[in-house]
Every structure is written in C-alpha cells, then in structure tokens.
Structure 1
Amino acid sequence: MRKVDLVYTRVRTEEKLLLEALRRRDCAVNLVQDSGMVLSMDRQRVTEADTVLMRSMSFTRARYLATFLEMKGLRVLNSARTISLCGDKALTSAALAAKGVPMPWSFVAFDEDACLEAIEQKGYPVVTKPVLGSWGRMVARLDSRTAAEGVLSTRFGTGGAQDHVALVQEYVDKPGYDLRVYVIGRAVGGLRRRSEHWITNTARGAVPERYEVPVVHAKLAEAAAEAVGGDMVAVDLLETRGGDIYVNEINHCVEFARSIDETNVPLPDLIAEYVASGAGGARR
C-alpha cells in the first residue's frame, strides 16, 4: 500500500476528488495543511509517507516545502525543480528556450528605460506580465508608447525587487481561444478556453470547451513538460490565426474544477494512477 501525504492550502474540489481517487487505489492518504508544516534543516524523516502530492496554492510554500522534503528523501510530485521553474515565468521561458521548445519571443528587463527602449525596437503590441503570479493577474497588453510608459512606471516604481523584473512577450493574435494540454507522464487530454477578451483564463471568464489533442500538440506539450522536469502539469499553448503553435506557460499545480465536466478527461484518476505507480519525482 502506497502512503501519500497530500499537502494542501484549502481542500478545494480538486483535492476532494484527488483524495477519493487515491483511496480507490488503496493509497493511505494523510491530509497535511501547508501552513502548519515545520521542517528542520536535516535529513531526518518527518512522515511515514513515501510520496508527497504537493497541492499548495502558494508558490513560495510549495517550492520550499518540496525542496526540504526531497532533501529528507521523499518523492515529491511535482518536484522542487519543476515548481521553481513553472512558478517563475521568466525561468519557464529560459527552460523552454534551452530545449528549443517553440514559444513567443520574449525578454526580461530590470530597468524602466531599458525595457521601454527594447519594446520600441521590437514594436507594438506586446504583452507584459509579472514573473510571479497566476490567473491572468497584472497581465497587460501594450499597444503604444504611452501605454508602455504608464504600465512600466507603475511596475518599476512600486513593490519590491521581484516586482522590478519585467517579462515582455510577443503578442500572439489568437483566433478567440487558447489551448491547455494536460500532461500526466504523457499528454492525456486537453481543453480549449474561448473568450472575446484577449486574456483567455477561465478565472477571467473564458468558457472551457473540450478539444481532441492532435499529435503535434501532444508532442509539443510533452516536450515542454520535459523541459521543466514536470510529472503532472498543464501546458498552455497559443495558436496563431495562421496555424503556428507556441508554448505560453506551464502550470505545476493542475487546476481542473472549472473544466472537468466539459473536457471529460478524468484528471483525478489519471493523477492518482500516476502517484500510485511510483513513477516520477525529483530527477537526481
């Protein structure tokens, strides 16, 4: 019997479904709230579990917890490396670029004037986003120098050092939707997110639709997952009106409550099967 610690922030619909799916596979599951965890800086075991399923909603907590739990000899899904790469959009882009995975052109800048000059050289429109964040928050499309000056002055003039890293990407003219491919060891299904707004997050009102993942999309998503060492990730793809396809972002904590009915992809069972199989974990 596999012993699993399911680390959570809140028990959402996803965690309830995962708990049921794991128990159906005779896994002994212990629910552990991330806020109450205290981990010593040594290799002493802190749990009887052999596997930790990391479902913390906090990128910071998940990254540190995964790092220390791996140091203590535990198999963590996803690994600390995957969480660190996926949770930072600049590092995601670097990991994809290192493996030659197709993505929109992008750059990072650390100074307002230098960033503005680089945007002017590339040309408008462009998209700027914080390197840390989710659900489409603080993502802005810049159509002119005036818009760029306003957004960049706010970005560089407030917050801390992490906020003063500007990630700028090519604006991809999508045909009214983007695509999400779920990779649980392999590509297992997908989701089309349709919206009249250029930001197509379901958290921002996009309508989820089922789509049959073609082989070329599946292979691209699997290559993206491999670039970040991801065992179970959601890969967001952008398709141009001309049919080109790029990887946009990779999500290390797969959310599916808003879309599971439409996609008909049994993600809780697929994740539970992967956890129970003993596959994956940190690449050492």
Structure 2
Amino acid sequence: MHDSSLSVRCGVRVAIEIVVDVVRLEEKLIIEAFREAGLDVTIVNLKNTPITWSDLSLDASIIRPISMYKAVYTASIRESTGIYTVNNSRSLLVSGDKILTLSVLKKVGIPFPETIIAFSGEAVLSASKIIDFPFVDKPPVGSWGRLVTLVRDIGTLKSIIEHREMMLSQSMKTHLIQRFIESDGKKDIRVLTIGDHVVGAVARIPNDGEWRSNVALGGKTEPYKLDEELEEIVLKTVKEVGGEFMAIDLFVSDGRYLVNEVNGVPEFKGFMKALKINVPKLLAKYVKDKLKK
C-alpha cells in the first residue's frame, strides 16, 4: 500500500526519475521499491531519451547508468537545474575513475594496494621492474572485471600493451599496475552504504578457475561480520568520495583492510541474497526522508 502522506509535499506529488542505460535486476527492484513507497516514478532510458538543461518538475534523480560518463554527465545536468541527485556528479566521477579514487584515498591516508600508473607501453615495462610478477593490470575506467588481467610474465604483459595501444581512448591506454593481493581466504569484501550508514558487508568468493570475485563473473557471496576498523575505513572513504549510495570493495591482507575500488552505481543482487536485506526499500526510505527535510 502506498503511503500518500509521504509522497505529497504541500499538496504536490513527489516526482522521482530513475535514469538507466541498461535495466538490470537492480534497476527493476529500485523502480518497484520507489513506486511501492508511493512516489511518482519516471524511467529515463538514455538509449532512447535525450537529456537537456530544461527545467523539470522533478524532486530527485536516481542515477543508475552503467556507463560512468553517462552517469556523470546526466547527474551534472540535473544538478545544474537544482535537482537532487543520488549519486552526485563528483562522487560518480571520483568513484568511476580508479586513479581519481586512489588519489582521494591517498590524500586522507586510507590504505590501498601498491599501485603504479603508466601512460605508455614503455612506462608499463618500467613499472614491471618495480612491482614483481604476478601483478594486476587494469584501465582506470571499467566495471565487471573487464580488461582486468592477472599478469604472470613478460610475454603476457607485452600482449596486453599491444592490445591496449590499439584502443583510441587514452583512458584505455592508461594502465594501473597494482600489486596482486592474495586476500585472506581468497575472497574480498564488499560493503554497501546509504548516507552515512553501513548497510552490511559480504565476502565475495571467486568462481572455480577464476581469480576475480565479481558476482558478474560468477563469484559467490556470503555474510561478512563488520568490525570497527572496517566500518571506520568504509565511512571515511564514503565521506571523501562524497556519495550517498555506495559500494566499497576491499581486500584483507595479513589482517589489514585495503580499499580496492569504490562503486557509485552499485550492484547488490549478491549482497541481498547473502544478507536478506531489502536494499531498494532502504534507498527509497532514505531518499524520501531527505526530500522531507
């Protein structure tokens, strides 16, 4: 049943748009949760809908494109017309670019794996003399583990360089050379936050024959018990990145947490399955409460 008292402000319905480019399970659940909360929901699919700077009768825009650039640009346009966005454009930009993410973390002393940035094949070869094989090579922008490679030898590295040099985008020609972390228990940790609240944490375990733990690649999830150190690192990360609905991925190395990546358009189906927490319902409540203030 809809709670009409929460969906009306001064006699006007609260209007929410949910911006997508691909409608995944997460987007379907978010749409359903916001409608069940009694909010007027419009779906904007960037595949067939252009975006303008026109003034709209919108109270909030939930930014859910998979493409980092589409997400950042749409949030920026909406913010310029006074619309509240989740997440905001700065947090989407910082979390969507791994170099920007690590730079923000470094500034405030949040630990992350040793990483070198190389802008050319020659620089990549020089980096390989600083961080020993095996190491991880990945571009600064991307999700689902795409173009993320565990490099075990110089032959593989040269093939990666050759492949990436053929790409037109400088982003794809840029390499993050990162020390490979054999995370304790061969799993990493994903923590989900809404506002300044930690919703919960799961351990992500790689599928057989796969070293990456992404759920999109078949990784499994199980509940992970939050502790004070983990919660402190996560909330400090979220504060610096500036998002309101975030996922923080961490390694555990020798009992120490290292932040790996931050996601400003988080997937959460594996999280929900492991913890039995209705994430979209919590997000809808959070946004409604923000709009009432």
Q: Which of these residues, 78, 87, 94, is aligned with residue 69 of structure 1?
A: 78
Please say if residues 30 and 280 of structure 2, whose CA atoms lie closer than 8 Å, have aligned partners that are also in contact: yes
Paired residue for 1:269? 281
Say whether residues 1:22 and 2:34 are aligned partners. yes
Say whether residues 1:187 and 2:198 are aligned partners. yes
Residue ranges of structure 1 left out of the alignment (5+ in a row): 280-284
Residue ranges of structure 2 left out of the alignment (5+ in a row): 1-7, 9-13
Taking the aligned partners of 2:279 and 2:228, their CA distance within structure 1 comes to 19
Q: Which of these residues, 111, 117, 121, is aligned with residue 102 of structure 1?
A: 111
Stretch of structure 1 that moved more, 222-231 or 20-29: 20-29
Change in CA separation of 1:100 and 1:7 when aligned onto 2, cut-off 3 Å:
same
Stretch of structure 1 that moved more, 62-71 or 93-102: 93-102
Taking the aligned partners of 2:31 and 2:160, their CA distance within structure 1 comes to 42
Paired residue for 1:229? 242
Say whether residues 1:127 and 2:136 are aligned partners. yes
Letter in 2 for 1:190: A
Stretch of structure 1 that moved more, 184-193 or 15-24: 15-24
Say whether residues 1:60 and 2:69 are aligned partners. yes
Stretch of structure 1 that moved more, 213-222 or 176-185: 213-222
Change in CA separation of 1:160 and 1:17 when aligned onto 2, cut-off 3 Å:
closer
Q: TM-score, normalised by structure 1?
A: 0.91
Cα RMSD (Å) = 1.7
Letter in 1 for 2:174: V
Q: Measure how far apart 1:248 and its partner are.
A: 0.3
Secondary structure, in 3 states, of the residue corresponding to 1:36? Answer: coil
Q: Which of these residues, 12, 25, 32, is aligned with residue 13 of structure 1?
A: 25
Stretch of structure 1 that moved more, 256-265 or 47-56: 256-265
Taking the aligned partners of 1:13 and 1:48, their CA distance within structure 2 comes to 27
Change in CA separation of 1:206 and 1:23 when aligned onto 2, cut-off 3 Å:
same
Taking the aligned partners of 1:163 and 1:13, their CA distance within structure 2 comes to 28
Secondary structure, in 3 states, of the residue corresponding to 2:112? Answer: coil
Aligned residue pairs, count: 275
Letter in 1 for 2:33: A
Taking the aligned partners of 1:220 and 1:259, their CA distance within structure 2 comes to 19
Say whether residues 1:115 and 2:128 are aligned partners. no
Identity of aligned residues (%): 29
Letter in 2 for 1:273: K
Change in CA separation of 1:36 and 1:171 when aligned onto 2, cut-off 3 Å:
same
Taking the aligned partners of 1:9 and 1:201, their CA distance within structure 2 comes to 21
Say whether residues 1:167 and 2:176 are aligned partners. yes
Please say if residues 120 and 145 of structure 1, whose CA atoms lie closer than 8 Å, have aligned partners that are also in contact: no
Letter in 2 for 1:205: G
Q: Measure how far apart 1:108 and its partner are.
A: 1.1
Taking the aligned partners of 2:111 and 2:145, their CA distance within structure 1 comes to 21
Taking the aligned partners of 1:123 and 1:10, their CA distance within structure 2 comes to 39
